[in-house]
Structure 1
Amino acid sequence: MAMAMRLILLLPVIGCATAAGGGRVDLWPMPASVSSGDKALYVAKDLKMSAVGSKYADGKTILVEAFQRIVSVIQMDHAIVGSYDRLPVLTGVNVVVHSPDDELKFGVDESYNLSIPATGSPMYAQIEAQTVFGALHALETISQLCYFDFVLSITRLDSAPWTIMDMPRFPYRGLLIDTARHYLPVPVIKSVIDSMTYSKLNVLHWHIVDEQSFPIEIHSYPELSNGAYSYSEKYTISDALDIVQYAEKRGVNVLAEIDIPGHARSWGVGYPSLWPSASCQQPLDVSNDFTFKVIDGILSDFSKVFKFKFVHLGGDEVDTSCWATTPHIKSWLVQHGMNESDAYRYFVVRAQKIAISHGYDIINWEETFNNFGDKLDRKTVVHNWLGRGVAEKAVSAGLRCIVSNADKWYLDHLDATWEGFYMNEPLANIYNPEQQKLILGGEVCMWGERIDASDIQQTIWPRAAAAAERLWTPVEKLAKNVTTVTARLARFRCLLNERGVAAAPLAGYGRAAPLEPGSCMRQ
């Protein structure tokens, strides 16, 4: 069904040409295939968007809203007052989406083709994508090609004609945020989601609860949120649904995590029987059936909100000493012929079965695989964060894997440089093509012990963008020497600043201050 849309837009953009005479391409992440020319175009003040030939009806207004958002992030309040007389004008953008389906599923086709002509009247850019989510990426790419011409006082697009064919290297390109160590208000989470789309990340891993706080309300067990830091530092289930829907309209999946059985002291504030004892408060009591009823209740409530294929069940850093020293648990272990290691395995496997009953595949931190990999459900995804070599072992065992090795992709490590983020290769030492397919992708992790709403964005960016190109761009297009991408990433960091994202300078380590007066692109 053909659909016509018309938006009258002001499109003043940013102040740096993206390619001169078919030369340097200032796009981030770098597309799979790109060619450009040497002609300058000028973007019409009343740029139109149409969908002639598209099968996508945009009933959820995903495409219309994305078009409006792209304008808002590039419109730097410049007044478009120049004359278009005798200038080559880009009149509009035609978007053709081949699939009418707009459900955001894992592995959805995110590819797109983009062509921008250098001649014609009227002159339209053409986006062709299998799904609306590929079209969203194409719109972001267009936004990075435009800038404001201060001489003519109109928006300019250099180096036409453009032909770009693009698709992601990995289906999972994630960013973890942690709302248990410090509460992040809903508008802050939404701002992070918006910033993710600029570098084409597509999974927000929401580490919701931990030992310090339980900030989300659970209808099945309402006293759990008594473990929040304060009355106001909570999320309702409606808040969670709002975040999920906000992310979905931007092509971002939300992965919910409850980290069990360790990292769970906060659960017992509302339900003390979940603790082994009042003086020994984690891991969760493995001997108590109520523990697993609560987990079932949480995952039942989650299944109505978090529609992503996966749920994250944690499983890391489990100190079982409370189980060994609490009399009633020690007695239960003896009765069931288990030691503490057996009980750890029993807990994880039982929790996995509960998650599967609610329709989820499971992600667990790597300790579960390291300790009893052969007992994990075959739907398990191993989340590698500790050791080198774990990803290779996981895929050799036929399990899927996500890479987040802490020495390279932990954003809370302020001494980790963007160069290290860029050069970290998820497929390192994995050569079998079938095993390579089991690496779903990777994730950068913004653990929250030392960040909150005041500094989260400057700690995430631009280092997360360096990893984003590693996860999006074909390996043969990736730089072998990071010095060749420094200027392009610096320009992207400035673009983030111009869009209201407090991305830190490239120079120095994470969250560094500018070194001295000077251009944004030299910081």
Structure 2
Amino acid sequence: MYKLIIFLQVIILIGSSISYQTDYVWYCRDDVYCLPLKNHNKQSTVQAYNNQNICRLMCGKFGGLWPKPTIKCNLEKSTVGVNAELIRFEYPQSDNGIREYLNEVSFLFLKNINDECGNICNSPSDTEMFIRLSISELSDLKFTHDTDESYQLNISTSDNKINVLISSKTVFGTRHGLETLSQLMVKIVDDKGRNGLVTVANAEISDKPYYRHRGLLLDTARHFIPIETILKILDGMSINKMNVFHWHITDSQSFPMEVSRVPQMHFNGAFSSDKVYSQSQINDIVKYAKYRGIRVIFELDAPAHAGHGWEWGNKEGLGNLAVCVDNQPWRKSCIQPNCGQLNPANENLYTVLRDIYQDIRDYKEKGEFFHMGGDEVFMACWNNTKEITDYMKSSGYELTTEGFLDFWSEFQSKALETYDSISDEKIPMIMWSSELTHPNNIEKYLPKNRYIIQTWLPDTSDIPEKLLNKGYRLIMSTKNAWYFDHGFWGITQYYNWKKVYANTLPRHQLVLGGEVCMWSEYCDEHSVEFKIFPRLNAAAERLWTNPTTDLKSAEPRFNRQRERIITRGIKTDAVYPEYCTLFEGECANY
């Protein structure tokens, strides 16, 4: 049984939309590019469209869809008007949690098409749209790495009625289907200057992601990123069907996460009292993300990248929880200022970790991965700390590279045991690639059934292949393509959207997917969106579709997606002169 939900009116929201010169019409060249045609002769045999985005909808196999579907995509080359006030939804019968989720994603769909329309859809039309949502698995709202995100979308038009069927196994596939439907709806302006919408008259789409893990890492420790900005970034991710928000929430520079069980962490570690993510805010972000088809993976980087927030141990009678904090000259104690590294020689450390882990457990979805960090451990810090070296000697560790790896491994084992002690399930743990995870060392220290390795290596490295051959699961963040902080410091190079798009991952069952990384040394709330977008769009199609086609066919759809995220209120950088957007295909190799 189904219950009919009727939306009689689209809520009007403040925003803006993209428009081009009205003295142009547009035509599709080579079934790829939409180009302007001035003073078009109506007797011409060339099919002309009154704006570039309608042309993009009609041009090419995938129209303006981003990322492009992976299984089937048949779009009829004709359009039909849509009355935004006559859109109705039919839901399957379900419990209140599922119903709430479907209400929310339906509202977001209406908001998105309203943004596309310019926030006032007043062009008259008697064509109604009826959207039926068919979901085969309605048992719960659990959203994990294994959740099925596939969907099928069918559109048919007859008798002034557009029938839409979105079929999926889970509500998360439904969400993706609604996102695709919204991308098939384009603004028009009638001869009286009124805004309206058109969509394709008929369509068949079958789609599922190539990679299960499609993520963005955001560092909120080196610069505090306000909640409002994080929500905007999540909006941009959802438009691109990215499904993992990797929250690098703490580092040696600051500890801005509220920990109810150990409030000393954020009291001592935040830049200021108003730069703390409260419990309610963190829970709101997790919920907000889930409505947009995004999982949140928390990272507590350790044992390195741990300074501010850990200094209070001596004062509270717990000893040194961290060492080398704020050491100068910093190059002798860490990779970058300010320094700080946990003190595994202090047993009290694990008591504190246990309390922090409990708070993180409460924040995150049950069954979700946890990221334990593990990158850039600086052996010289430990080697120059008498408390550490005395402990190592008494434990039989030599003060050599191998001895420090053994010591580090002891910390990692105890940290894992500590997490397991507060959890009723043994969830997979993620760690950054490091000396500990090197193919020559990893099997000695990290069992493959518990650890997923996130590699941050250049595309020339053979380490990922060697780890795959040993049976380890990987998440890949190709350093020389998907590090979005590069190009703004040192000798690093900026990677444009084409470089991001062209970065391929191994087609291997143990490669779970990848993440682009926005480290925040050189960005804050005023610049972070521009540095993420529109390059994240390019990574999104790589991870959803893993296309074999070239950039030529992707570029017009990429341009359309950039305009789309602007329309929905996301700040995004320009990628080339406006001429190259208007005259697609004329700026080859720009």
Mark yes or no: TM-score above 0.5: yes
Which has the higher mean CA deviation after the structures are superposed, 7-16 or 248-257?
A: 7-16
Structure 2 residue 377 is the aligned partner of structure 1 residue 318: yes
Q: Greater shift after overlay, 177-186 or 333-342?
A: 333-342
Distance in 2, matches of 1:322 and 1:90, equals 67
Equivalence for 2:4: 4
Larger Rg: 2
- Is the Cα–Cα contact under 8 Å of residues 259 and 313 in structure 1 kept in the other structure? yes
1:469 CA drift (Å)? 0.4
Q: Which residue of 1 aligns with 2:235?
A: 194
Residue 188 (structure 2) aligns with: 149
Measured in 1, the distance between the counterparts of 2:77 and 2:125 equals 19
Correspondence for 1:413: 486
State whether structure 2 residue 380 is matched by structure 1 residue 342: no
Query: 2:142: which partner in 1?
Result: 103
Q: Does 1:398 align with 2:461?
A: no
Deviations 1:404-457 (A, max 9, x none): 011011111241111111111111xx6xxxxx1111100000111111111111
Distance 1:423 1:517 in 2: 24
Aligned to 1:223: 264
- Structure 2 gaps of 5+ residues are 20-52, 315-319, 328-332, 334-338, 398-402, 488-493
Structure 1 Cα separation of the partners of residues 560 and 64 of structure 2: 7
1:426 to 496, 505, 516: 505
Match of 2:571, SS state, is coil
- Structure 1 stretch 170-179 or stretch 156-165: which is displaced more? 156-165
Report the secondary structure of 1:471's partner residue: helix
Amino acid at match of 1:421: V
Check conservation: 1:217, 1:234, Cα contact below 8 A: yes
* 1:182–1:451 contact (8 Å) kept in structure 2: yes
Shift of 1:517: 7.7
Q: Quick one: distance in 2 between partners of 1:21 and 1:304?
A: 48
Paired residue secondary structure (2:66): coil
Distance 1:190-1:81 versus aligned 2 partners, 3 A rule: closer
Partner residue, 1:458: 530
Q: Does 1:209 align with 2:267?
A: no
Contact 1:223-1:271 within 8 A present in 2 as well? no
The number of equivalent residue pairs is: 503
2:307 paired residue among 243, 265, 275: 265
Q: For the Cα contact (< 8 Å) 2:559–2:581, is it kept in 1?
A: no
Q: 1:26 aligns with which of 64, 76, 87?
A: 64
User: Hey, what does 2:552 align to over in structure 1?
Assistant: 483
**1:471-523 alpha-carbon deviations (Å, 9 max, x no partner):** 111x4xx143212211110111011111111111123xxxxxxx468867879
* Secondary structure in 1 matching 2:536: helix
**SS in structure 2 of the partner of residue 6 of structure 1:** strand
In the alignment, what sits opposite 1:276?
323
The one-letter amino acid paired with 2:382 is: W
SS at match of 2:86: strand
Match of 2:386 among 299, 302, 327: 327
Q: Which residue of 2 aligns with 1:369?
A: 437
Distance in 2 (alpha carbons) for counterparts of 1:119 and 1:259 = 57
Residue 437, structure 1, aligned to residue 516, structure 2:
no
Q: 1:521 to 1:177 in 2, by over 3 A?
A: farther
Return 5+ residue gaps in structure 1 as ranges. Answer: 431-435, 508-514
The answer to whether the 8 A contact 1:21-1:159 is kept is no
Contact 1:11 1:43 in 2 (8 A): no
In the alignment, the residues of structure 1 paired with residue 122 and residue 309 of structure 2 have an alpha-carbon distance, to the nearest angstrom, of 59
Classify 1:125/1:256 alpha carbon distance in 2 versus 1 (closer, same or farther; 3 Å).
same
Q: Per-residue CA shift, 1:367-407, capped at 9, x if unaligned?
A: 13116311203210000102522221222111111000110
Shift of 1:276: 2.9
* Cα distance in structure 2, aligned partners of 1:108 and 1:72: 26
Q: TM-score, normalised by structure 1?
A: 0.90
Q: Percent same amino acid at aligned positions?
A: 30
Letter in 1 for 2:429: I
Per the TM alignment, residue 57 of structure 1 is displaced from its structure 2 partner at its CA by 6.0
1:51 to 90, 93, 97: 90
Deviation at 1:269, TM superposition (A): 3.0
Shift in Å, 1:44: 2.0
Q: 1:227·1:270 contact (CA, 8 Å) conserved in 2?
A: no
Compared with structure 1, are the counterparts of its residues 150 and 252 closer, same or farther at alpha carbon in structure 2 (3 Å cutoff)?
same
Write the distance in 2 (CA, Å) between the matches of 1:96 and 1:56: 15
Q: Which one-letter code corresponds to 2:482 in the other structure?
A: W
SS in 2 for 1:270: coil
Structure 1 partner of 2:542: 470
TM-score (norm 2): 0.80
Q: Tell me the distance in 2 between the aligned counterparts of 1:275 and 1:373.
A: 25
